[in-house]
A = this chain, B = another copy of it.
Amino acid sequence: MRYPEDELVVKAPEGEKIVLLIFDGLGDIPHPDFGGKTPLEAAKTPNLDALARDGALGRIIPVAIGITPGSGPAHLGLFGYDPLELEIGRGVLEALGIGVALNAQSLSARANFATMDAKGIITDRRAGRIATEKTIGICKKLQENIGTFEGVKVEIHPAKEHRFVVVFRGEGLADGLSDADPHREGSPLPEVRATKAGAEKAARVINAFLKKGQEILKNDSPANAILLRGLATPPTIPLFPERFKVKSGAIAIYPMYKGLARLVGMDILKVNGEHYEDEFKTYIENYDKYDYFFIHIKGTDSAGEDGDFARKVKVIEEVDRILPILTAKMPAVLAVTGDHSTPALLKSHSWHPVPLLICSKCVSRDSTKRLTELEAVNGTLGMFPSRDLMKILLSNAKRMDKYGA
């Protein structure tokens, strides 16, 4: 895919520093049980308020108007990619989510243990939702006995309950594979088929793996079968540090977000600890070494998903309290926003625009006083797709050239 803006990025990078501070699932809608406020409206945020008074507000659309994004597409947008063009397979996201490193030679799948009867019919797609500890044990047994197929190594990574991740590593593995999953009980386990030319070797390898795996598990009922779906290699991505000519560091606690940042080529910076202030300290320690920092705060999304309005407020307040750690080294361009909305009222991701704050000497300061959904409607940045945000940040950091004479 070609991104026209890439040609305008200043070639010899002498620009200024950019920080993108992401509160996952930040956007929200008014909650009737909390005075008709959103968490951002309810939270006491003196430090963010000061930034809002000094900066400009706007709103971003993660993927498209009315579309609810998953974490993968939402972050690709923030990183300047078109999430409708650049798709990340489910298997890849699942592997990133449990912290497995991937490269172009890795083909990943979401996997379930399932129950198969004597005739080869799948009778329970989740093997009675066996406990995570049991899955860890069976994964270990599989890993020790599985061997290799046509030179392809197989990695078995346990996840929660009956779920696990399988990563195939080797030459000649390509995308374009049907699922090894009947998607309903009462049917036999289908073989994997190559749906695109070039995926034939992968199909052969995976079917051989399934046959041997089923053999290894034959006495482990209810977990005596393996289902694979979302078989995918990582997409070929024009790498972020090269596209935008910025030395890029990602600061996150959760594996999924480190994985997404690694996928686009950012350096993953080591965080000593699991608190938000540890993330901010990592920024300070690495300040001199990078041009661009992506800092990810997970708690707002988890609270939204749980429908826990008060906790979402608390996460925002907590980050606000420690914000001076970050702003002690104020970058030339600081953007604060979310990857998508996760309204506590809906207990899920949603399609609502996400409020955005940018502090920089070059923004068109407006009369907004707080970073909230409603104030953001009146910000000078307007409403635009997330994937355009990177251009605005680069321009503010004097890293974009003029288009045409």
Contact = CB atoms under 8 A, between A and B. Distances in A.
A30 B402 contact: no
Contacts of A364: 29-30, 38, 352, 373
A107 to B, nearest CB: 17
A203 to B, nearest CB: 23
A190 to B, nearest CB: 20
Interface in A371-385: 373-374, 377-380, 382-385
Interface residues on A, range: 35 or more
A365 B41 CA distance: 13
Contacts of A400: 66-68, 351
Nearest to A394: B66
Contacts of A351: 391-392, 395, 400
Contacts of A394: 66
Contact of A404 (B70, B350, B362, B392): B70
Interface string A55-96: 000010001111111111110000000011001101001100
Contact of A403 (B36, B38, B70, B379): B70
A308 interface: no
Nearest to A70: B404
A365 B68 contact: no
> Most chain-B Cβ atoms within 10 A of its Cβ — which of A64, A348, A361, A404?
A404
A388 B61 CA distance: 12
Interface in A1-36: 4-5, 8, 29-30, 36
A402 B83 contact: no
A402 B70 contact: yes
Interface of A: 4-5, 8, 29-30, 36, 38, 59, 63-74, 83-84, 87-88, 90, 93-94, 343, 345-346, 348-353, 361-367, 373-374, 377-380, 382-385, 388-395, 400-405
B403 A90 contact: no
A158 to B, nearest CB: 19
B405 A363 contact: no
Given A8-B67, A395-B66, A395-B350, A72 B404 contact: yes
Given A68-B400, A71-B405, 13 more contacts: A5-B66, A5-B67, A8-B67, A30-B365, A65-B391, A66-B389, A66-B392, A66-B394, A343-B362, A350-B362, A350-B395, A374-B380, A383-B383
18 contacts: A5-B66, A5-B67, A30-B364, A38-B364, A64-B391, A65-B391, A67-B403, A68-B400, A69-B402, A69-B403, A70-B402, A73-B403, A74-B404, A93-B404, A345-B361, A351-B391, A366-B377, A367-B374
Contact of A65 (B68, B343, B384): B384
A83 B8 CA distance: 15
Contacts of A365: 29-30, 36
A350 B395 CA distance: 8
Nearest to A94: B405
Contacts of A64: 4-5, 388, 391
Contacts of A73: 403-404
A403 B5 contact: no
A83 B4 CA distance: 12
7 tightest A-B CB contacts, nearest first: A66-B391, A70-B404, A65-B388, A73-B404, A66-B392, A29-B364, A70-B405
Contacts of A36: 365
A65 B382 CA distance: 10
Contacts of A68: 395, 400-403
A3 to B, nearest CB: 11
A241 B362 CA distance: 38
Contacts of A383: 382-383
